[in-house]
Amino acid sequence: MSHAIEGLQPQLVWKYFAEISAIPRPSKHEERMTKYLLDTAKKLGLSATSDKFGNVLVKKPASPGRENIRMICLQGHMDMVPEKNKDKVHDFTKDPIELVRKGNVLMANGTTLGADNGIAVATNLAIMSAGLLYEVVDLSEEDKSLEHGPLEFLFTVDEETGLTGASNLSAGFLESKTLMNLDSEEEGSIYVGCSGGRDTNATWKADFEKAPAQTIAAVIRVAGLKGGHSGLEIDKGRGNAIKILNRALLAASEFGARLSSIEGGNKRNAIPREAEAVVFIPKKKWKVAVEAVMRFAITAHTELAGVDPDLNVTIEEMKVKNRKVVKKSVQKKILQTISALPHGVMKMSADIPGLVETSTNVAVIQTEKKSILMGTSQRSSVDSEKAEIIHTVASIFELGGAKVAGTDGYPGWKPNLDSEILKVARSTYKSLYGKEPEVKAIHAGLECGIIGERLSGMDMISFGPTLEGVHSPDEKIHIDTVEKFWNFLLAILKNVH
């Protein structure tokens, strides 16, 4: 067991969090987690099943005297975003997450922590196990004898890269008509709605040719950005490594720089933190090109000093074997397209203060043998606005000579302020903590949107402890909020009638 969780409460939640942190579970590689969940349910004597996609459903009978209470489903996703610092050696398909405790936060060593949504998985395992765990665990008497009606625990797969698990739930998989999603990231807030989204991707035929003679190969790098979730942190004004790199490339292009390759970002739902490009610069223009890039570096650092003070833009000579460059006309189209692409908040909600209504993220760019690929994502809680920003991005790509393709996307979740489970949750929170919880919608895709579409008539809310920096190596969970979240959840289960 990791020393990082020693003494933390609730002990059973942290025990399971440490256990699942040792199980590799990047999106689309959740097989070991599926087996672990089924094995744990079997050990506890609980009914469990898995569908062909890897989703796991566990059922736990009601505590004595509460057999006739309505059934509730507690839901979270088992996969995690595999992001790491560039200098960190870590294989997310093989290596465990290294937990690091710093005061009141738990982090990972150079990688994403996986609290999104590992804390939901651990919490569900703790509730599954309470009163059934036949081993020495220092549980409070209250935790040993939880009061609840019949429970279902739904663990979905591939939430982060396609919402595949939720999208393929069969109509009869759940009995429950009330669901609590445990994938929100601000203790004291209850979420009742979310945005829908879609990815818009572009491909350019690179038309590589031999690099001009008398040129110096160089690499331009952008690093040190915070990045973050492209929904939750899109309103923070943080730098986008791809957009910043493009500006540096435009500066170098004024002095004849030719593009050989460009790479940046690796997840559609993360603001890119790092990017780099290999260029060939005429020897006669080397000095002035370097000076132009470094002048831009100072400009970019000044622009982002308040939100991304560690931004670092560099250019240095390098040795390369393959002296190829993108055809000049294609290079111009690519750089102009990236420059034209919008990134960030497009519109704030007029109805819910502080809620981002529509946004777009320039997410990923990569060079392949014969092409350059770019991925973007658009979100909105208003279907017509989502369609409009998708059309805008696609039009820019087409004007820039790229072949455009879009994903099917995912639906939003329309708030229901008359929800029965919301009423119970609000009154429970106030009785526990003496204040009203904030009822919110979120500018991110929650599985509730899809679950509500797949399983009609589902009454849902979403909440969780406080997380920061999800989808980046800066991801952290605030330890003190986990106990508050746990107590809140148990009290809701007790108060449901």
The catalytic residues are 79, 159
CA-to-CA distance for 458 and 476, rounded, in angstroms? 31
The DSSP code for 134 is -
Taking residue 35's Cβ as centre, other Cβ atoms within 10 Å add up to 14
For 301, what's the count of Cα atoms within 13 Å in the CB-facing half-sphere? Answer: 15
Which segments of 10-67 are extended strands (E)? 47-50, 56-60
Question: Are the beta carbons of 281 and 216 closer than 8 angstroms?
Answer: yes
Taking residue 161's Cβ as centre, other Cβ atoms within 10 Å add up to 15
CA-to-CA distance for 344 and 361, rounded, in angstroms? 6
| Amino acid of residue 130 | A
Question: Are the beta carbons of 16 and 487 closer than 8 angstroms?
Answer: no
**What distance separates the 2 farthest-apart alpha carbons in the chain?**
85
**What angle is formed at CA 77 by the lines to CA 72 and CA 82, rounded to 5 degrees?**
165
CA-to-CA distance for 296 and 294, rounded, in angstroms? 5
CA-to-CA distance for 412 and 416, rounded, in angstroms? 13
Residue written as token pair 């006739």:
68
Residue written as token pair 């469990």:
48
Question: Are the beta carbons of 313 and 243 closer than 8 angstroms?
Answer: no
CA-to-CA distance for 426 and 334, rounded, in angstroms? 50
Residue closest to 53 by CA, chosen among 79, 16, 75:
79
Q: Decide: residue 318, CB within 10 A, 0-12 exposed, 13-18 middle, 19+ buried.
A: exposed
Tell me how far the alpha carbon of residue 265 is from its chain's centroid: 13
In the chain, count H helices and then E strands: 12, 25
Question: Are the beta carbons of 389 and 195 closer than 8 angstroms?
Answer: no
3-class secondary-structure state, position 412: coil
Question: Are the beta carbons of 66 and 147 closer than 8 angstroms?
Answer: yes
β-pair partners for 467 = 477
CA-to-CA distance for 389 and 135, rounded, in angstroms? 54
Residue written as token pair 């009290």:
491
Tell me how far the alpha carbon of residue 133 is from its chain's centroid: 32
